[in-house]
Structure 1
Amino acid sequence: MAVATLTIDLNSLVENWRALDAVSADAVETAAVVKADGYGLDAGRVAAALAKGGAKTFFVAVAEEGVAVRKAVGAEPEIYVFSGCCGEDAALLNSHDLIPLLNSPEQVYQFLPSAKPFGIQLDSGMNRLGMEPEEFAALKDQITGAGPKLVMSHLACADEPEHPQNKAQLDCFRAMTEGLTARKSLSATGGTLLGADYHFDLNRPGVGLYGGAPFVDAKAVVRLSIPVIQTRTVREGETVGYGANWTAQRDSKVATIASGYADGLIRGIGNGTLNLYAGDTPCPLIGRVSMDLITVDVTDLDHVPDHLDLLNDTQTVDHLADAAGTIGYEILTSLGARYNRVYKG
């Protein structure tokens, strides 16, 4: 089979959730963010595993994502929608018992008369989603009288612990929510790791569950094994791939493997510092990543296996992200539809 195999370890996913849960006090709930189809790993399978592991609250980006999660976790868990209530979302929110996080005065005016459960998202300094301090102050009595289930905000720089904006946003969030009895949430993965001052009533880790930074102690959740289609001898001085930007410094054995940027392996990772792995043995990725193919220097192997591994316990999505000049989130959510997906646990 000339299709790469993406293995998703749901046991490691749950262990990461439990490890992040253990960072906070027992009174602090740890939820799970499963937006973007569970960071590209299938929101239904991810949410079901986390629910079985103990998660009781989930977050998605838009109402449509909540449908698959509700089907996977059943009626009891709460599912919050970051985008709130937009346009014709009300029918989906109602029919699947989803809770919008209202982001603006307009959403408040639209949704509050429905008397359905809701949360509020505040802008504490990120200037992306949420009500600004003046907007919230003007509607605070009306909103709190309707009984929000959760009041939340989001940190812009939590992956940089010393960044001054973390403290500024913490102070702003405290000031905006002073006197509120509703549950409060400020932190995703990075904020969870910043310490108890940032925890409030509920943390909502996302990327750390899936093995990504800034949760450096995370277990790897995804592994990618790519079939070798062909091997060839490349003579000293010959070049490999588009642009001829890798030149053999010796007679070399080169393997061509069956994945490329059409599978989410961003072109920028080519001809850099990444390896493919034959078991524990690293083999340099050489030349440019093309649409369906990658080339690998396997000269030093005694035997070329049927598959080489790009993602494993040693080389994670964050290594690929560093090579591509991006972040692990983009690597995870870009992993392509052609992979043969195998779920463990």
Structure 2
Amino acid sequence: MSASGNVSGVAAAGGILTIGVETVVANWKSLAARVAPARSAAVVKADAYGLGAVPLVRPLYDAGCRDFFVIALSEAEAFRPLLPSDAAIYVLNGLLPGTAAAYGDGILPVLNSLAQCRAWAEARRGSRPSVIQVDTGMSRLGLDVAEQQALASDPGLLSATGARLIMSHLACADEPDKPASGEQLAAFGAARERLPGLPGSLAASSGIFLGADYHFDLCRPGASLYGIETSPLATGIKSVVDLRVRVAQLREIEAGTSVGYGYTFRASRTTRLATLATGYADGWWRRFSNGAGAAYFGDTRLPSIGRVSMDSFSVDVSALPAGTLAEGDLLELIGPHQSVDDVARAVGTIGYEVLTALGHRYHRIYR
């Protein structure tokens, strides 16, 4: 401790979240090689799926990425200054009313309706580029067939949008046995015939592994960059995240003693437990209570006992020899013994949700 009473961020943190920047880049390079000669973008929405977009976008650019996808204009503005002028940032949620003038150089709206196409054309008159998204069956964002036909019948409007790309999104690419992806592929082909001459983009992470028919001119990997298993067909993706949390307290309890809110756990024997300095405020959900979640010390799995609370939860450390752990030691929550997807499967969710939930009280190291 310094004379001022401050301690370093690592020492004071309840947990340490390490993000492998070089691994993110390696995953992007692997995917870029797979989809070539199509280009590979990088989807960095939701602050790069919770891992921090600002530290990642420039290394991705330096690796060769020139196309970045976000959800909101505010996300694009946050790291536009970090990228050279030849990089393009696409805003997926489209043109919100009154925002056209805020789109600076290199930031492109994804136009999701005929009304947005008209608003962009009126505001920019073709002087700034955009992307046209078409709905191919997901019923979420994009021009439906009638709107596509209306746009195709108005060449002046289409030209005034400055469209440089037509895109859509697959709903079931992570379930390759379903016919839905093939149906959407056909619908996308029909949309491209209605709006000819535009490069196409259909596949995100899962869609990449459906094969070259889905790659078109630009693919949009996101979750795969961050080590998430996006499809049973996915190969060559490396884990990116390591999460370690501190032992806040050690104690031994007697048989019959309860642990945590609601007394949902009662010890059946003398039990040694460790209270860990993380909880649902940090993205370690209440669903990880009572054995659903676990920590690791070396190769030893330490199951959760009692409920996860906002700032802490407990694990049974009786399997470790007495004296093995000390307060302040770090235990693995995500790492070589349980991946992001392992953690997700334990509570019936997906790796996307686990990553984007990780809080900002962890000390973050970009390796």
Q: TM-score range by the shorter chain?
A: over 0.9
The 5 A counterparts of 1:119-138 are 119-138=131-150
1:36–1:2 Cα change, 3 Å: closer
Measure, in 2, the Cα distance between the counterparts of 1:9 and 1:172: 38
**Deviation string for 1:39-70 (max 9, x for gaps)?**
11111112122112221100010111101231
RMSD: 1.7
Letter in 2 for 1:80: Y
**Deviation string for 1:63-122 (max 9, x for gaps)?**
11101231222222111111222123223213x430111111111111123121111000
CA displacement at 1:243 relative to structure 2: 2.3
1:162 is matched with which residue: 177, 180, 198? 177
Corresponding position of 1:20 = 31
Corresponding position of 1:201 = 217
1:91–1:20 Cα change, 3 Å: same
Letter in 1 for 2:316: D
Corresponding position of 2:301 = 282
CA displacement at 1:153 relative to structure 2: 0.1
Corresponding position of 2:8 = none
Corresponding position of 1:226 = 245
1:189 is matched with which residue: 202, 205, 225? 205
Corresponding position of 1:8 = 19
**Deviation string for 1:113-133 (max 9, x for gaps)?**
312111100000000100001
CA displacement at 1:144 relative to structure 2: 4.6
2:109 counterpart of 1:100? yes
2:359 counterpart of 1:336? yes
Q: Is the 8 A contact 2:296 2:337 kept in 1?
A: no
Measure, in 2, the Cα distance between the counterparts of 1:89 and 1:45: 27
Measure, in 2, the Cα distance between the counterparts of 1:245 and 1:54: 52
Q: Is the 8 A contact 1:268 1:325 kept in 2?
A: no
Measure, in 1, the Cα distance between the counterparts of 2:80 and 2:301: 42
Q: Is the 8 A contact 2:292 2:347 kept in 1?
A: no
**Deviation string for 1:189-235 (max 9, x for gaps)?**
01011111111111001111111121464222111111101111122
Letter in 2 for 1:12: T
Between 1:64-73 and 1:99-108, the stretch displaced more is 64-73
Q: Is the 8 A contact 1:267 1:324 kept in 2?
A: no
Measure, in 2, the Cα distance between the counterparts of 1:17 and 1:229: 37
CA displacement at 1:321 relative to structure 2: 2.1
Could you tell me which runs of 5 or more consecutive residues in structure 2 were left unpaired when the two chains were aligned.
1-11
What is the TM-score with the length of structure 1 in the denominator?
0.94
Measure, in 1, the Cα distance between the counterparts of 2:174 and 2:220: 14
Corresponding position of 2:86 = 76
Could you tell me which runs of 5 or more consecutive residues in structure 1 were left unpaired when the two chains were aligned.
none
Measure, in 1, the Cα distance between the counterparts of 2:58 and 2:131: 23
Q: Is the 8 A contact 2:138 2:169 kept in 1?
A: yes
1:310 is matched with which residue: 312, 322, 333? 333
Corresponding position of 2:278 = 259
1:173 is matched with which residue: 183, 188, 193? 188
Letter in 1 for 2:281: A
Larger Rg: 2
Q: Is the 8 A contact 1:64 1:92 kept in 2?
A: no
Measure, in 2, the Cα distance between the counterparts of 1:126 and 1:2: 42
Q: Across the two proteins, how many residue pairs are aligned to each other?
A: 342
Q: Is the 8 A contact 2:252 2:272 kept in 1?
A: yes
